[in-house]
Amino acid sequence: MYAELSLLDLVFGASTLVQLVLASLVLASIISWTMIFDRAWVLKRARRTTDDFEQRFWSGGNLNALYRDLEQDPQKADGLAAIFRAGFKEYRRLRENDAGDLMAILQGTERSMRVALSREMDRLEVNLPFLATVGSTSPYVGLFGTVWGIMHAFHALGNVKQATLALVAPGISEALVATAAGLFAAIPAVIAYNRYANQVERLHNRYEEFVEEFSTLLQRQDRD
């Protein structure tokens, strides 16, 4: 209980600028944790829907039936399902309009899938740049508060005749709280960013592989 009160005393006893630094770091930490939980849910759902769609796609079912199912329930069409839906829709449109040039049809289909892939990646990468920014800048923001607090503490010594450690220690302690706050905001953001960036990269690779495999499948189907 005493330690908690001492920490509050240090915060409320700090200079105005240090308090502003602390407030900004606490706000950044709160926003970071909100984004961390949000990305955890989004990426978990993306992996699950990717697994489910791949299992259904490669089970040997009718592609037209799969496409009609996604058209009837667009909420199912995210991740790989959205890429397949965009590609197969363009494939059917081009086949109906011009069945002559097979290469043009396949190229148009692949372009549509890559546009959908890009949209899916943008959706998965939302908030990751903010986590990277918090992780890289928070320690420096905290260090700025620390330096300013120490300068303020030593400046106060100019008003006394005899400088002692007891006089400067509270000011230095207040300043060091800013460094601790900077690390408190930065460490979770860095860990989350590295973890989620790796998961996004793995999903991107799976999406890319699906585009190539589906394009090959359509090419083989048309030749047959």
Q: Is the pTM of this model over 0.95?
A: no
Domain of 169 in residue numbering reads as: 14-223
Residue 26 in any domain: the answer is yes
Residue 148 domain-assigned (yes or no): yes
* DSSP secondary structure of 103-159: HHHHHHHHHHHHHHHHHHHHHHTTTHHHHHHHHHHHHHHHHHHHHHHHHHHHHHGGG
Least confident interval from 136-145, 155-164, 192-201? 155-164
CB 85 within 8 A of CB 77: yes
118 found inside a domain: yes
Overall number of domains in the chain:
1
Residue 206: Cβ-neighbour burial (10 angstroms; 0-12, 13-18, 19+): middle
Confidence of residue 224 (pLDDT cuts 50, 70, 90): low
For residue 6, tell me if it sits in a domain: no
* Mean pLDDT across 114-128: 93
Residue 47 falls inside a structural domain: yes
Tokens of 205: 């690779």
Encoding tokens for residue 160?
């006394």
Which of 13-27, 132-146, 196-210 is the least confident region?
13-27
Give the mean pLDDT of the chain: 83
For the record, the structure tokens of 43 come out as 């990426």
89 within a domain of the structure (yes/no): yes
Classify residue 63: in a domain, yes or no. Answer: yes
